[in-house]
Chain A
Amino acid sequence: MTEEQPNSETEPGKPEAPAVEPAKDAELAKDTPVQEAPAKVEPVAIAPVPRPEAERDMPLLRIEGVAKKFGNFRAVDHVTLDIRAGEFFALLGPSGCGKTTLLRMLAGFETPDEGRILLNGKDIAPVMPHERPVNMMFQNYALFPHLSVRDNIAFGLKRAGMARTDIKTRVAEMVALVKLEGMEKRKPDQLSGGQRQRVALARSLARRPQVLLLDEPLAALDKKLRESTQAELMELQRRLGMTFIVVTHDQEEAMTMADRIGVMDAGRLEQMASPRDLYETPASRWIAEFVGDINLFEGQVGTSEGGRLAIETRDGGTIYVAEPRNPLTKSVVSVAVRPEKVKLSRRVLAADGTSAKAFNWLEGVITDVSYLGGITTYKVKLDSGAVVRSSMANTTRLLDTYAASQRVVAWFTPDDCLVLEQ
């Protein structure tokens, strides 16, 4: 760490790395809650970019109606999106949905056909990649094979015209940050996959970009390493207060790490929400099916009574749902319910007048049981022929569970249902 640096004579008594402007140091002390943290954290804290007071409400990055076509293929179709400073934002979508193209436009490797990309209120669409205060971590890491770990990390600093002693300090900080001490002299082909990932991360962080773009940063790591690296990335982002935009096709990864998730499909931004909202109130059937598992029942909108709306479904009979906040505009809708909200029991419980609408009861036969350790998932074939999926946590060790071909009742409350119009 910096304290041990023999060459910290540039700024004696000052643990922070030389910031570009003094304003950043003041900002650092104010905005990052690292004062009480162990001393080793401090040198690597990177100040959020200071911005004039008037622009505080302005998002750090604003993408306005950006579109990009490759030939006849609409890769990105008029995406509008705001990203706040210090946010961990994830772009989630199946492959070919345009998320990487959008990221590459932010980095400057593609130019948008239409729309503007505003960084701190300035349009950066015509700015060349090397002139943007944005750095990218590439999916395959793109480490320079002919350079050592140290030179890879120092590469961007040299180009920025930093003084040699400052570069040395910064590289040492970065190496410590990603825990690669002792590896500085190695070449990329002498590193493991996880170590390469760290070098790539350190290299892209070294210039202290305003926004760090990460293209599938964890895709090449195995599961265990991916999980620990996820946690490290989040920790790093919080500590540095930097804005991260990560592109991923892995919804679990996006849900774990991001403050907000933008879901893309066929070049369009379908929904932008917190992980919880994305899962619990998906905007469309497509998103409901893309993010997690879902049971869908199509039906006609029926009568409303006491805050309960009846939907006449073909597969599940009448399903009572909580009255949606916004009035429905269509008469044919889908009722969506997540499998973990569907419980099973052996028979219909007490059925007086009020509880008829307090629960939805669907009778059927279990056709499939998958024991997954923490949970067990069941497939229940209803009398109508439709299949309802239920997953229940195995909260006790010895309690008997339901078996295949057993007759059961699948039930869920109206509040657990969601009405989707599209």
Chain B
Amino acid sequence: MASRRITRMTRFNITALVLGLAFLYLPIVILVIYSFNASRLVTVWGGWSLRWYYEFFNDRAMLDAAWMSLRVGAVSATIATLLGTLAAVALTRGERFKGRMLFSGMLYAPLVMPEVISGLSLLLLFVGLDAGRGFWTVTIAHTTLTMCFVTVVVQSRLGAIDRSLEEAAMDLGCNPLRAFLSVTLPLIIPSIAAGWMLAFTLSLDDVVIASFTTGPGSATLPIRIYSEVRLGVKPEINAICTMVIALIAVVITVASFASKLSSTQGENAVPL
């Protein structure tokens, strides 16, 4: 990552670094600090306190929303990982089937599709099908959003694995499925794990698609926060956001370790 040419920490470099990091992270730092604020007013410092964390754990509606988000994230990430891995296998291992280009294009479309359009079209679909909106509609919507990310992560790893490994396994008595399970899968499992975690965090912080596809009584945490904020920012929101940030930081760290593990076993790293 680090460019070779920057060998010295000149004053200019340090200033640029500090300003850049401040631009990116100062708002978050302020949010985290204010989550420990004892004062009821968001902008006035009233001393350190865990009051708002306590408040959150007694706020039934917020807890429900958080639980909803975690469930949606886990279920949609699991389905997305399953489907995304299969798609990656089809793209890298399958014969040159007809419409392969079209398939991969359609697979990657959600990556660049504006979320509003995805959300709206899913809403229209669910209304058209007369599906009751709630946990499953959000989960399905998030699966469609996150599947392509899993595919990208897994596909890059699969592409780096020598095809002849599977052939060797078949030569030594494995049928094709067995060869995949006993040789290829152990080699790509860190990438699959990284893909799952990526999908989980994407689902956790999505507002747009969730707001289109969720129903009454099944708001996810980001939607709940958004609706609360419209009435005025309570310090409790800061506490929730701090915890979400902590959770995502942990997940992303684990994911990048997983992909690093994957790359030390093979040649190429997974771009995360």
Q: Which A residues lie at the B interface, using CB under 8 A?
A: 107-109, 128-130, 134-136, 138-140, 142-146, 155-156, 159-160, 203-204, 207
Q: B187: CB under 8 A from chain A?
A: yes
Q: B175: CB under 8 A from chain A?
A: yes
Q: Is the CB of B172 within 8 A of A159?
A: yes
In the complex, A109 Cα to B173 Cα: how many Å? Answer: 13
Interface of B (DSSP majority class) = helix
Residues A129 and B171 in contact in the complex (CB < 8 Å), given A145-B187, A145-B266, A146-B187: yes
* A146 cross-chain contacts in B, Cβ below 8 A: 186-187, 265
Chain A proximity of B188: nearest CB distance (Å): 11
Q: Which among B168, B169, B172, B266 has the greatest number of chain A C-beta atoms within 10 A?
A: B172
Chain A proximity of B162: nearest CB distance (Å): 6
Q: Is the CB of A144 within 8 A of B183?
A: yes
* B174 cross-chain contacts in A, Cβ below 8 A: 130, 159
Chain A proximity of B22: nearest CB distance (Å): 43
Q: Mark B151-188, 1 if CB is under 8 A from A, else 0.
A: 00000000000101101111111110011000100110
Q: Is the CB of B173 within 8 A of A130?
A: yes
In the complex, A138 Cα to B168 Cα: how many Å? Answer: 8
In the complex, A107 Cα to B164 Cα: how many Å? Answer: 12
Residues A136 and B173 in contact in the complex (CB < 8 Å), given A144-B183, A145-B187, A146-B186: no
A sample of 29 cross-chain residue pairs with beta-carbon separation below 8 angstroms, ordered by A number, consists of A109-B167, A109-B170, A128-B170, A128-B175, A129-B167, A129-B170, A129-B171, A130-B171, A130-B174, A136-B171, A138-B164, A138-B167, A139-B164, A140-B162, A140-B164, A142-B164, A142-B167, A144-B169, A144-B183, A155-B169, A159-B172, A159-B173, A159-B174, A160-B173, A203-B168, A203-B172, A204-B171, A207-B172, A207-B173
Q: Is the CB of A144 within 8 A of B175?
A: no
* A159 cross-chain contacts in B, Cβ below 8 A: 172-174, 178
In the complex, A139 Cα to B167 Cα: how many Å? Answer: 12
* B170 cross-chain contacts in A, Cβ below 8 A: 108-109, 128-130
In the complex, A146 Cα to B168 Cα: how many Å? Answer: 14
* B171 cross-chain contacts in A, Cβ below 8 A: 107-108, 129-130, 134-136, 156, 204
In the complex, A204 Cα to B187 Cα: how many Å? Answer: 21
Q: Is the CB of B164 within 8 A of A130?
A: no
Residues A145 and B265 in contact in the complex (CB < 8 Å), given A140-B162, A160-B173: yes
Q: Is the CB of B172 within 8 A of A135?
A: yes
Q: Which B residues lie at the A interface, using CB under 8 A?
A: 162, 164-165, 167-175, 178-179, 183, 186-187, 265-266
Q: Which among A129, A155, A156 has the greatest number of chain B C-beta atoms within 10 A?
A: A129
Q: Is the CB of A156 within 8 A of B162?
A: no
7 tightest Cβ-Cβ pairs between the two chains A and B: A156-B172, A159-B173, A142-B168, A142-B164, A129-B170, A146-B186, A130-B173
- Chain A residue at minimal CB-CB distance from B166: A142
- Chain A residue at minimal CB-CB distance from B161: A145
Chain A proximity of B179: nearest CB distance (Å): 8
* A107 cross-chain contacts in B, Cβ below 8 A: 167, 171
In the complex, A134 Cα to B187 Cα: how many Å? Answer: 26
* A128 cross-chain contacts in B, Cβ below 8 A: 170, 175
- Chain A residue at minimal CB-CB distance from B183: A144
* B265 cross-chain contacts in A, Cβ below 8 A: 145-146
In the complex, A145 Cα to B165 Cα: how many Å? Answer: 9
* B165 cross-chain contacts in A, Cβ below 8 A: 142, 144-145
In the complex, A136 Cα to B172 Cα: how many Å? Answer: 9
In the complex, A138 Cα to B172 Cα: how many Å? Answer: 12
In the complex, A203 Cα to B265 Cα: how many Å? Answer: 21
* B175 cross-chain contacts in A, Cβ below 8 A: 128, 130
Chain A proximity of B168: nearest CB distance (Å): 4
Chain B proximity of A156: nearest CB distance (Å): 3
- Chain A residue at minimal CB-CB distance from B185: A146
Q: Is the CB of B162 within 8 A of A142?
A: yes
Chain A proximity of B84: nearest CB distance (Å): 22
Q: Which among A139, A142, A155, A204 has the greatest number of chain B C-beta atoms within 10 A?
A: A142
In the complex, A142 Cα to B161 Cα: how many Å? Answer: 10
Chain B proximity of A214: nearest CB distance (Å): 12
Residues A156 and B183 in contact in the complex (CB < 8 Å), given A109-B167, A138-B164, A142-B162: no
19 additional A-B residue pairs with CB within 8 Å, beyond A130-B170, A130-B178, A146-B186? A107-B171, A128-B170, A129-B167, A129-B171, A130-B174, A130-B179, A134-B171, A136-B167, A136-B171, A139-B164, A140-B162, A142-B164, A142-B168, A144-B169, A145-B165, A155-B169, A156-B171, A159-B174, A159-B178
* A134 cross-chain contacts in B, Cβ below 8 A: 171
In the complex, A160 Cα to B173 Cα: how many Å? Answer: 7
* B266 cross-chain contacts in A, Cβ below 8 A: 145
Q: Is the CB of B168 within 8 A of A144?
A: yes
Chain A proximity of B101: nearest CB distance (Å): 18
In the complex, A140 Cα to B171 Cα: how many Å? Answer: 15
In the complex, A136 Cα to B164 Cα: how many Å? Answer: 11
* A144 cross-chain contacts in B, Cβ below 8 A: 165, 168-169, 183
Q: Which among B168, B169, B170, B266 has the greatest number of chain A C-beta atoms within 10 A?
A: B168
* A156 cross-chain contacts in B, Cβ below 8 A: 171-173
- Chain B residue at minimal CB-CB distance from A153: B172
In the complex, A159 Cα to B173 Cα: how many Å? Answer: 6
- Chain B residue at minimal CB-CB distance from A139: B164
In the complex, A156 Cα to B182 Cα: how many Å? Answer: 12
* A136 cross-chain contacts in B, Cβ below 8 A: 167-168, 171
Chain B proximity of A283: nearest CB distance (Å): 33
In the complex, A28 Cα to B251 Cα: how many Å? Answer: 60
In the complex, A38 Cα to B1 Cα: how many Å? Answer: 59
In the complex, A55 Cα to B167 Cα: how many Å? Answer: 31
